[in-house]
Structure 1
């Protein structure tokens, strides 16, 4: 058994924590409820609550449609409520990610020209994930050492320094989430107004599924991140006032209220890019990588510079939606008889040492969670009906990583019912037993069950 998997096994006879299982499953199965009001009215109510209960607030602005909705809701509420006009002009923080269309730059400039907006145009070499290349897993927009390769000239409004932000050495540069504390020094409580919507992804839906009254207000937590802890004073909160909006709601609100918006969306629409695939920010991360080809089609000027700016972009544009990058239904086939842990280790070894440790810890965490809730084996294809884990999922983690913690195995159980998942799981296990597959090949620390159907719960 490989070392990186050793943390995943529970000793023989370890009891399963039933309460933990129930809580884990319930967390991901909360139903959608009708709110009895339209989403715009609810967003305004939430925005007023946030602005009332925080000393200060700022909009985390990307120039995209969702942050546009948050910006306009915040301005509407702050302008019409006298008690909230203390927040005007509204602070709007734009992180310029360098590899963006000219239309985004033009739009941000129009927003910052508004008298009720106090704009901050940050051009900092923040650390970004580069999923295009395993040998160059990060890139830094506006990095001074890469100035000849910059995709665009530095905007005249650019703020290029921030007290407490380390520029040298590059490996000490902070990510955008990690530097939030630098934007909101104590003692004031500060709300970061963000355009996070549950429809965008399952992991974002989970972020607002807690059983709490203010489920859209989240403490900015750094967890075990040393860099974030160094700049976080515990006074920053994240607020998602439009979390229940759908894409149609965003564009309907823009049309009904006459909002200005980023004209890059018009170019993507004319090119036939569906609303779900439209993206204005650089698509170099693990999940956005599938959309990178859109830039060459819609924004050829910036694409010409992007392809030289970040290692691996050219290959990603051609193969991002294939098994080479862990996307698509087809995955690499494991040689017959080879244990799954050994097969996955081969792909893990393709990353650099630091990334290997991060991904290995993530895989070990998933395995530990699985065996805390069940003693059943992990199968190649079928997600376990309680944990959602299977080896193909772990293979994708090994190939692509999950550096922003946006993937959860239980997400694989959100499109069906428990009975159907148990049928698929027991049928695959029966096939494997009939084919003579061993516990070692499945990476299972115990003998395989002889009767797969006996695993199905009776209630």
Structure 2
């Protein structure tokens, strides 16, 4: 077998989220554990601890339900704890992403009118993912060169410049995560309070599984790898997830019980028949939000009329967002006789000037697999130690995964280790029987006895 070519080296049906979480919990026999207090009380305790142990803090506010919960928990704690009132008025940072409902704008304005809130309303051309087009993978809300295409008029509260944020050239503009580093100048320790909840996705569940006592407080890591890093990474910023164990029903129950104000866009989506798990107020141009693009057209026609012309590829995305064209639904079958790397190159090439980045991402994942195991990557069975298979790599090739939200290890979370080894060895045996091992592009001879690969602690009687 030959090694992967040099240019590879580094330089699905839309499931209801609540049903997915229920299935996940059932399969792993990890029901929600009873705690000594309700989730609101626990969130208040965490919030008080974060505010007490950090010099400064700000709420990363989107106008959505989760950041609404974080905002109100923080304000409730500050109203009760006199020792923490140095944080008043509470700093609230809102990045206006332009292609959002007017109901969100109205809600954020109401938040900004509160005496206990110091709102910073940023309308900056931060870099965003445009999954509608492979040739134009990014877009910039409020970009001055696109003013004629803006989805909404610029709000009067807008902050349109910030020290250290480059407006020109466009490729130097920061992402929101990297811009956050500018909001925490040293030497003060700063906590950004975020509405990350484990129920939302497996990636977010992993975010609070760190092996530490305060598993909801995470060091902020700037993702910029270029010369901007030193300018935007102060090293004193932390992320805090005080409502990480809340469920969607907890968020709405708290709003009802405590009388919190909230974004009326959720009422519009509810009346339109959009279930709670599918209600999103963020722009619909990214990989995951793209599946909800029809919600904007149905619920927010005034904004959708402008969104329909805002980014390249939006028309095609509206028609085909849930099809193979955008990497959703059933994956295309690999032609017989073609190697998997060649099959992936066909889709990588569709990403235009970003194809090297996609190829590097795939090469990184493959290298990570071979650092852990010498075993081959199979078409559909995830390797029991790494979670990698060619089907996962095909998804990366088709979608790009520029935000690196998809991790191969997540494929190991729906079965036991014994089940994964059984599935892996059975598929490898089938490949050997069919004589299609060359298509795997494994850099060494394939194991003659697949069942000998199973570690003793996971070994069961091999199929006859």
TM-score, normalisation: structure 1: 0.92
| CA RMSD between the two structures | 1.7
The 8 Å contact of residues 293 and 318 in structure 1, kept in 2 or not, is answered as no
1:318 equivalent in structure 2: 319
- Checking the alignment, whether the CA contact within 8 Å between 1:5 and 1:341 is kept in structure 2 is no
> 1:441 maps to which residue?
439
Divergent runs of 4+, >6 A: 29-32
2:94 aligned residue: 94
Match of 2:140 in 1: 140
After superposition, what is the alpha-carbon deviation per residue over 1:298-329, rounded to whole angstroms, capped at 9, x for unaligned?
1111111001011111211221111111112x
Q: CA separation in 1, counterparts of 2:7 and 2:224?
A: 20
Instruction: Report the CA distance between 1:34 and its aligned residue.
Output: 4.5
Q: How does 1:37-52 map to 2 (within 5 A)?
A: 37-52=37-52
Equivalent residue, structure 1, for 2:448: 450
- 1:63-90 per-residue CA deviation (whole Å, 9 max, x = no partner) reads 0000000000000001110011111111
Query: Match for residue 431 of structure 1?
Result: 430
1:12 equivalent in structure 2: none
Name the CA distance, whole Å, in 2 between partners of 1:5 and 1:97: 34
Q: Compared with structure 1, are the counterparts of its residues 224 and 148 closer, same or farther at alpha carbon in structure 2 (3 Å cutoff)?
A: closer
Q: 3-state SS of the aligned residue for 1:350?
A: helix
Aligned with 1:392: secondary structure?
helix
Deviation at 1:6, TM superposition (A): 4.7
**SS state of the match for residue 235, structure 2?**
coil
Q: How does 1:24-423 map to 2 (within 5 A)?
A: 34-223=34-223, 225-226=225-226, 227-328=228-329, 330-353=330-353, 355-423=354-422
* Structure 1 residue 131: Cα displacement: 0.7
Residues paired across the two proteins, number: 436
- How far off its partner does 1:456 sit? 2.1
TM-score by length of 2: 0.91
DSSP-derived class of the 1:335 partner: coil
Secondary structure of the 1:57 match is strand
Cα distance between partner residues in 2 of 1:64 and 1:304? 22
What is the deviation of 1:133?
0.2
Q: Which runs of 5+ in 1 are unaligned?
A: 9-28
What is the alpha-carbon distance in structure 2 between the residues aligned to residue 55 and residue 436 of structure 1?
A: 63
- Structure 2, gaps ≥5 residues long: 12-27, 458-464
Q: Give the C-alpha shift of residue 358 in structure 1.
A: 2.1
Q: State whether residues 181 and 233 of structure 2, in contact with CA within 8 Å, keep that contact through their aligned partners in structure 1.
A: yes
Find the counterpart in structure 2 of residue 5 from structure 1. 8
Secondary structure of 1:309's aligned partner: coil
How far apart, CA to CA, are the structure 2 residues paired with 1:224 and 1:385? 32
Structure 1 residues 181 and 7: alpha-carbon distance in aligned structure 2, compared to 1, 3 A threshold: closer
